[in-house]
Amino acid sequence: MNSMTTEQIRALIARGKMKDTIFQALGIICLAIGLLVIFLLVGDMLIRGLERLNLDFFFQYASRRAAQSGILSAWVGSLLVMLVTAVAAVPLGVAAGIYLEEYARRNWVTDIIEINITNLAAVPSIVYGLLALGIFVYAFGFGQSILSAGLTLALLILPIVIVATREAIRAIPAMIREGSMAVGATRWQTCRYHIIPYSMPGILTGVIIGLARAIGETAPIITIGALTFIAFLPPVPFTATGVDGATAGLFDWVMSPFTVMPIQIFNWTSRPDPAFEANAAAAGFVLMGMVLSMNGLAIWLRYRMRKNIKW
Amino acid sequence: MQIQENPALKAEARNLSFFYGNTQALKGINMPIHDKKVTALIGPSGCGKSTYLRSFNRMHDLYPGNRYEGEIRFFPDNTNLLSPEVDPIEVRMRIGMVFQKPNPFPKTIYENVAYGLRVRGERNKRTLDDKVEHALRGAAIWDEVKDRLQDLAPNLSGGQQQRLCIARALATDPELLLFDEPTSALDPIATGAIEELVHELKKRVTILIVTHNMQQAARVSDYTAYMYLGEMIEFGKTDEIFLKPNDKRTEDYITGRMG
Ligand SMILES: Nc1ncnc2c1ncn2[C@@H]1O[C@H](COP(=O)(O)OP(=O)(O)OP(=O)(O)O)[C@@H](O)[C@H]1O
Ligand SMILES: [Mg+2]
């Protein structure tokens, strides 16, 4: 092949750069469309719900009159359900992830488990609701409680936690593991001193992203029978229950009936009275805020914790 | 052959073969490791030096599908390090290792060195402090880090990191220290420091060191083994190997005609 002249080289580069520019423009347009849609949705909710977004809205129970309705029982319910979800899903998911990465031998059994975990993440959430209705609500007798809801959502996010744990563990270089084993550590010591601490940022991020997904779930919660109209809070530990002067135990709240944010929103949108629409929009905006701040927290935590971990 | 009664030996490979799955990486290696001496392993890239070295502390056990044949006898107790009845953790408690690339843990300098002691259940702060200092002095890095023991180890320079890794291995008083090209990622000054250290250390501990650098092998070692394609071609006193090698392949490699 003959060598090209300077002009030919320049023309070639210009053609290549042209394509660069076109692709860049396309990318920006696609990105803008995506962002714009989200922005419009959130903005629309904010505008429609603005009249209801005041402090009272957060500290009032739902009511038959739209203007006096609030989301107190809904956000408290959401937070408590998330607490149960996290407490159940994190130890299970992290332990499963560590087992699969650090202990399990590679064979067809682990292959099948692996495929199943991937599939679990794709199971429609309503199916988890049906499963939980049978197991938690009836078989275990937990009833339509915060506990049932929390455990249901824990099942739902378990694959997310497991996958996040495994990915975080895989990011740890083999030489760190070898360095630990080489001084005579057992597998468990290696996990406890190295694998778990170093994968914590990734695991936490996965957990929070899982929780952010769970907090917006409606279908499985409806399936297990969350109430849509509730004008009391779960019993605070060690306070009077109002029944024969008894005091609530530390964990009585987990068996309490409850509602959560998405169900409250769903309930308001299905009312014939259009006044409730503003409530729904305002509550939607709050829920969106909850999800975004959880994701923000995940990013911040990851950044903070990663600073001290480098190899 | 009654070599195990020879007090001058720390270990001896006997007909050692190793397989990564179906690929044989070591072929019937026989080789003595003399007590409190430095033995250098040389040979072209891919000849099995690391594989051989990592057999001593059963590093291959961490990965599935690996298989040993033959024995590595460890003295004075004449344990076969490769025996399935011998726990690899027991082996690693007696044999320390320093890797090619410095691999400090993302923890403090102090915790890096104390780790081996903690793994052995040491909880006493005084004892830990003493042993950490002793190990850091032994690795000739104490003066550089004594005022910053709580700093993160990965913030040290590469040469300091490598000496820290040596301190980590020294802290637990190993009987044998394995070095896999410990200076290949370091500049000449840091390399010089490590070589001097190796020279100092052999008063206390037996050393087996892989190196790509002929001068380094000549400088630091008492014995040298030349490996080629998974086989031990020649073993002998370093001066003899370098001055009048018996095997043509050794000579070619040493004089730079190969590898
Ligand atoms: N994990 C592995 N699986 C399969 N084969 C391997 C593995 N590690 C090394 N080998 C092969 O075993 C042989 C010996 O490798 P080894 O790493 O021991 O060589 P080396 O002498 O240390 O080389 P270098 O000087 O480049 O470090 C090589 O042919 C290599 O390809
Ligand atoms: Mg090597």
* Residue to substitute from B105, B161, B208, interface A, most A β-carbons within 10 A: B105
For B98, which residue in chain A has the nearest alpha carbon? A179
Contact criterion met (CB < 8 Å) for B103 and A176: yes
Residue A244, token pair as written in the block: 């024969």
Q: What is the Cα gyration radius of chain B? A: 18
| pLDDT bracket for residue B3 (50, 70, 90) | very low
- Ligand found nearest the CA of B46: 1
| Confidence band, pLDDT 50/70/90 cuts, at residue B46 | very high
Nearest to B57 among A180, A182, A308 (CB): A182
Question: Is residue B216 over pLDDT 80?
Answer: yes
Domain assignments of chain A as residue spans, ordered by start: 6-52, 55-306
Q: Which ligand is nearest to the CA of B47?
A: 1
B2 touches ligand 1 (CB under 6 Å):
no
Whether B150 lines ligand 1, by a CB cut-off of 6 Å, is no
| Separation of CA B211 and ligand 2 centre (Å) | 9
Q: Chain B residue with minimal CA distance to A193?
A: B115
- Predicted confidence at residue A228, as pLDDT, reads 76
Ligand 1 lined by B50 (C-beta under 6 Å): yes
Tokens of B197: 């250290």
Q: B89 and A310 in contact by Cβ < 8 A? A: no
Q: Give the model's pLDDT for residue B130.
A: 95
Angle in degrees, 0-180, between the axes of helices B188-201 and B158-170, rounded to the nearest 10: 20
Buried b (16+ CB within 10 A) or exposed e, A219-238: ebbbbbbbeeebeeebbeee
ipTM of this model?
Answer: 0.90
Give the Å distances, CA to CA, from A138 to A81, A141, A253, B99: 19, 5, 19, 57
Residue A16's pLDDT is 92
Instruction: Take atom 2 of ligand 1 and give the residue whose Cα is closest.
Output: B20
| Cα B35 from Cα B3, distance rounded (Å) | 13
Confidence tier at B92 by pLDDT (50, 70, 90): very high
Q: What is the pLDDT of residue B7?
A: 63
Cα angle, residue B69 at apex, residues B65 and B74 outer, rounded to 5°: 115
Bridge partners (DSSP) of residue B97 are B178
Q: How far apart are the C-alpha atoms of B57 and B61, rounded to whole Å?
A: 9
Collapsed DSSP state (helix, strand, coil) of residue A63: coil
SS3 content of chain A, % helix, strand, coil (to 5): 75, 0, 25
Q: Do B64 and A189 touch (CB under 8 A)?
A: no
Between CA B243 and CA B246 the distance in angstroms is 10
Q: Is the CB of B135 under 6 A from ligand 1?
A: no
Whether residue B106 has its Cβ less than 6 Å from ligand 1? no
Rounded-to-integer distance, Cα B224 and Cα B226, Å: 7
Mean pLDDT for the stretch of residues B183-210? 90
The token pair that represents B208 in the structure block: 């087996």
pLDDT of residue B234: 94
- CATH superfamily assigned to domain A55-306: MetI-like (1.10.3720.10)
Q: What is the mean pLDDT of chain A?
A: 91
Residue of B53, B107, B112 for testing the chain A interface, max A β-carbons within 10 Å: B107
What is the rounded distance in angstroms from the CA atom of residue B181 to the CA atom of residue B102?
10
Q: Which of A293-307, B56-70, B99-113 has the lowest mean pLDDT?
A: A293-307
The owner of tokens 């991020």 is: A205
Closest CA to B131 of A41, B123, A180: B123
Taking an 8 Å cut-off on Cβ atoms, the answer to whether A179 and B119 are in contact is: no
Note the pLDDT of residue B2.
44
pLDDT computed for residue B259 by the predictor: 46
Give the position of tokens 């290949």. Answer: B184
Ligand nearest to the CA of B43: 1
pTM: 0.86
Q: Specify the pLDDT at position B148.
A: 95
Residue B184 has pLDDT above 80, yes or no: yes
Q: Which residues pair with B39 in a beta bridge?
A: B208, B223
> What SS3 string covers chain B?
CCHHHCCCEEEEEEEEEEEECCEEEEEEEEEEEECCCEEEEECCCCCCHHHHHHHHCCHHHHCCCEEEEEEEEECCCCEECCCCCCCHHHHHHHEEEECCCCCCCCCEHHHHHHHHHHHCCCCCHHHHHHHHHHHHHHCCCHHHHCCCCCCEHHHCCHHHHHHHHHHHHHCCCCCEEEEECCCCCCCHHHHHHHHHHHHHHCCCCEEEEECCCHHHHHHHCCEEEEEECCEEEEEEEHHHHHHCCCCHHHHHHHCCCCC
| Interface test with chain B among A106, A183, A191, A199, by most B beta carbons within 10 Å | A183
Among protein residues, the one whose CA lies closest to atom 22 of ligand 1: B50
* Continuous segment of H or E residues that includes residue A252: none
Contacts of A180 in chain B (CB under 8 A): 105, 115
Q: Residue A242: its pLDDT value, please?
A: 66
Domain B3-254 architecture: 3-Layer(aba) Sandwich (3.40)
Test A308 with B106 for CB contact under 8 angstroms.
Answer: yes
Q: Please give the Cα distance from B102 to A95 (Å, whole number).
A: 30
H-state helical runs in A171-274: 174-182, 187-190, 196-215, 219-224, 261-269
pLDDT at A265: 93
- Average pLDDT rounded to a whole number, residues A273-280: 90
Q: Is B224 left (phi over 0), alpha (psi -120 to 50) or beta?
A: beta
Residue B4's pLDDT is: 45
Atom of ligand 1 nearest to the CA of B54: 18
Find out whether the beta carbon of B138 lies less than 6 Å from any atom of ligand 1.
no
The residue of chain A nearest to residue B91, with distances taken between CA atoms, is A184
Average pLDDT of the residues in A44-58: 91
Q: What is the mean pLDDT of residues A191-217?
A: 93
Q: How many CB pairs under 8 A join A and B?
A: 69
CA B230 to ligand 1: nearest atom: 14
pLDDT of residue A1: 58
CA dist., res. A160 & res. A152, Å (int): 14
pLDDT at B257: 65
**Average pLDDT of span A179-190:** 96
| Residue B49 CB less than 6 A away from ligand 1 | yes
Residue A67 pLDDT class (50, 70, 90 cuts)? confident
